[in-house]
């Protein structure tokens, strides 16, 4: 698969995991406003995508050869960047910097993972953990005590788990909080469901409860 990292205009990563992905990225695609943060940290974008309403004139001039303007106001800059990656042949995408500022932006960016995952392999990494969208029953690698939260996009989806401290048995999640702050009991968790998708959050740190 052809990989790319998208840097959104939320809080710049500080945790070693997202920073590692950014520093090792073969291709970095910036949502227009994140370009300043990337350059400030000594890195260079390979592409800048968005409506360019928050890109400094100085940076716009310096990177004029890699700016891809999309003025469609029906989508946000992160969606524009994902679409650019898809059309450019990148089908394995890691999103960084998509949370940490305005909460409404964070929620919107997280929820959009379910849409993006219909077309590309995608994940979102924050300073606290990893969001994974999944459409089919699967096994997820974990470590004992790892905190896991499960969010269902479709409230009618029945979910059964194996490997969680608090099992789900044909459970329909009617609200976002219902399957949060669970824990892995071993090195993997199995989720069996139909009619997804689900969003899974895997925390970096072991539970301290």
Q: Which of these three, 84, 103, 127, is where a domain ends?
A: 127
In Å, what is the CA distance from 19 to each residue of 5, 70, 129, 161? 11, 27, 12, 32
pTM of the model: 0.93
- Domain containing residue 187: 134-206
Q: Considering its fold, how many domains does the chain have in total?
A: 2
CB neighbours of 39 closer than 8 A, spacing ≥ 6?
Answer: 45, 59
Q: Specify whether 15 is located in the same domain as 113.
A: yes
Distance CA 123, CA 117 (A): 9
Q: Specify whether 30 is located in the same domain as 85.
A: yes
Q: Which of these three, 99, 127, 155, is where a domain ends?
A: 127
pLDDT score recorded for residue 208 = 41
Distance CA 23, CA 26 (A): 9
The values of phi and psi at residue 37, to 5°, are -65, -40
Predicted confidence (pLDDT) at residue 20 exceeds the cutoff of 90: yes
Question: Which token pair is 75?
Answer: 């989508």
Please state the rounded mean pLDDT for residues 47-58: 90
- What DSSP designation does 10 have? S
Q: Specify whether 96 is located in the same domain as 170.
A: no
pLDDT score recorded for residue 180 = 96
The string of pLDDT tens digits covering residues 127-160 is 999 999 999 999 999 999 999 999 999 999 999 9
Q: Specify whether 66 is located in the same domain as 160.
A: no
Q: Specify whether 161 is located in the same domain as 94.
A: no
Write down the mean pLDDT value for the chain: 93
CA dihedral 124, 126, 132, 133 (to 10 degrees): -60
Q: Which of these three, 127, 156, 180, is where a domain ends?
A: 127
The values of phi and psi at residue 159, to 5°, are -125, 130
């Amino acid at each position: 698969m052809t990989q790319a990292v998208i840097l959104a205009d939320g809080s710049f990563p500080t945790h070693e995991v997202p920073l590692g992905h950014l520093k090792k990225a073969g291709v970095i695609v910036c949502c227009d406003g994140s370009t300043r943060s990337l350059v400030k940290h000594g890195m260079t974008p390979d592409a800048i995508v968005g409506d360019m309403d928050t890109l400094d004139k100085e940076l716009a001039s310096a990177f004029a050869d890699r700016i891809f303007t999309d003025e469609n106001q029906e989508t946000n800059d992160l969606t524009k960047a994902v679409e650019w990656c898809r059309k450019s042949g990148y089908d394995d995408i890691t999103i960084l910097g998509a949370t940490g500022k305005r909460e409404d932006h964070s929620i919107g960016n997280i929820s959009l993972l379910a849409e993006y995952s219909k077309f590309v392999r995608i994940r979102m990494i924050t300073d606290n953990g990893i969001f994974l969208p999944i459409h089919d029953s699967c096994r997820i690698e974990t470590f004992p005590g790892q905190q896991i939260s499960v969010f269902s996009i479709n409230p009618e989806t029945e979910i059964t788990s194996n490997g969680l401290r608090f099992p789900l048995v044909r459970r329909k999640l009617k609200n976002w909080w219902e399957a949060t702050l669970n824990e892995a009991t071993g090195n993997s968790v199995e989720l069996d469901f139909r009619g997804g998708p689900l969003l899974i959050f895997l925390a970096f740190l072991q539970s301290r409860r």
